[in-house]
Structures are given as structure tokens and as C-alpha cells.
Structure 1
């Protein structure tokens, strides 16, 4: 049996893609929605998979850094294109360090750049 717990947040950021992306190569803005979820097989003694407040606090800290930013100006995206996939990877890497040792198996980050399109990054934690 696998359990999953997740939190959501939203932020607004701008970027311009490099390469063959048509109009997306011009600076533009997204109202991103973000979902961070963790999975695991065992609940803690208190009946929870993880302290959801910890997960929420972690996510809020990341969102504070991204909200209102030009993604291309951030160190995390200087060497890579600021695609939704790269944003998801960046957020997953930031979360991974804090979540290791919590008895969790997997981390899933979804970054929605519109109501219809998202990218995800999934990482093993165990």
C-alpha cells in the first residue's frame, strides 16, 4: 500500500526560452501552479506519512524566491533553459535535501504553466 501527501502553491514569473520555441523566445509571464507530493509505504506513529506543515513550509520558501522573478536571471537557470521541466527539476532538487531521512520513498513535483499544460519531475528519496 502506498500513501501520498501533497501541497499546492502558485507563483508568477517571467522568462524567455532559448532555441526554436517561436513566440516563447520573447519575454513572457506565466501564472504557475505548483504541486509537491511525497509517497511512502509506512505511516509514522501518529498516522501521518509526513508532517504536512513541513512540506508546506518548504514549498512556501521556494515560492517566495520564484514569485515575481525573471527565471532566466536566477542562478539555477543561467546554464539551462527555463522550461517547465527545468523549473520542476529545480524545485525537486531543492525539496529533496530537506525530505531525505523522513522515511519517504518518492517525491513528485508538478509545475503547471497554464490550465492545460504541466511538466513533472519525480525523484527517489529512499
Structure 2
């Protein structure tokens, strides 16, 4: 299995609903390093898994949709606890949509799975991985 990973970062504010979250129920900030790993069994005719530049551009477009925002105020996240795990899943879904819409080019049609990992700190991170 081949894999290719691109990374970026995003800065957000948000709060969580539920007493389990203690002080995180108040609005607080988070900076996430975001990694998107694409996997495929074979390479395209140019010996690429996916175009790195296209992957970086599409990941950045997704992140620009909520970077430097309070997620609590965004309709796309209404009623959600925007946990690290939840954001991994959201970004994954948007990357899958971009591949299916052809925004990565035809070579990306061979991508079988994507793993999205968000690092909150050097000591804590979460990931979501699923097949396309």
C-alpha cells in the first residue's frame, strides 16, 4: 500500500456542551496541525499516488472554511461538539468529496482510503480513517 501525506494547520475557537467538559465548556482556542494521508494499492500512469500540490491546495481550501473562526458561530457546525475527533471526520468527508468531484485529477480515483490526523499538542492527537 502506498501512502502520501500533506500537512497544514488551523486556528479556531470553540466551546463544548456538557458538564463532562469542565472548563472547556467556556470558549477557548485551539491550534491544530492537520495531516491528511492518502492511500492506494497502485500508482497512476505517472507513478504518483496523488498530486502533492493538488492535495495541499484542497486541504487548505477546506481549512480556510473555518480557520480563525469561532466554530460555535458557524452554521455548518451547529449543535455539534467540535471535538478533535469530530473535526477529523469533517475534514475527511470534505477530502472525499473533493476526490469524487475530480478536484484532485483522474489519478486520485485510485485512492482507497484517507486518514486525517489532528495534533492538538505534541502530547495529544486524534485521527479518523475510512475507505472512500
Under a length normalisation based on structure 2, what TM-score does the superposition of the two structures give? 0.88
- Partner of 1:36, secondary structure, is strand
Match of 1:95 in 2: 95
Unpaired runs of 5+ in structure 2? 101-107
1:30 aligns with 2:30: yes
| RMSD between superposed Cα atoms in Å | 1.2
1:114 aligns with 2:121: yes
Partner Cα separation in structure 1 for residue 7 and residue 76 of structure 2 = 21
Partner Cα separation in structure 2 for residue 65 and residue 86 of structure 1 = 15
1:14–1:28 CA contact under 8 A, matched in 2: yes
Match of 1:40 in 2: 40
Unpaired runs of 5+ in structure 1? none
Under a length normalisation based on structure 1, what TM-score does the superposition of the two structures give? 0.92
For each residue in 1:11-41, what CA deviation from the matched residue of structure 2 results, as whole angstroms up to 9, or x when unmatched?
A: 1101111111111111100111100111000
Partner Cα separation in structure 1 for residue 59 and residue 92 of structure 2 = 10
Aligned-residue offset at 1:113:
1.8
Between the two proteins, the alignment pairs up a number of residues equal to 124
The correspondence of residues 29-108 of structure 1 with structure 2, limited to 5 A, is: 29-100=29-100, 102-108=109-115
Partner Cα separation in structure 2 for residue 74 and residue 5 of structure 1 = 31
Runs of 4+ in 1 over 3 A off after TM superposition: none
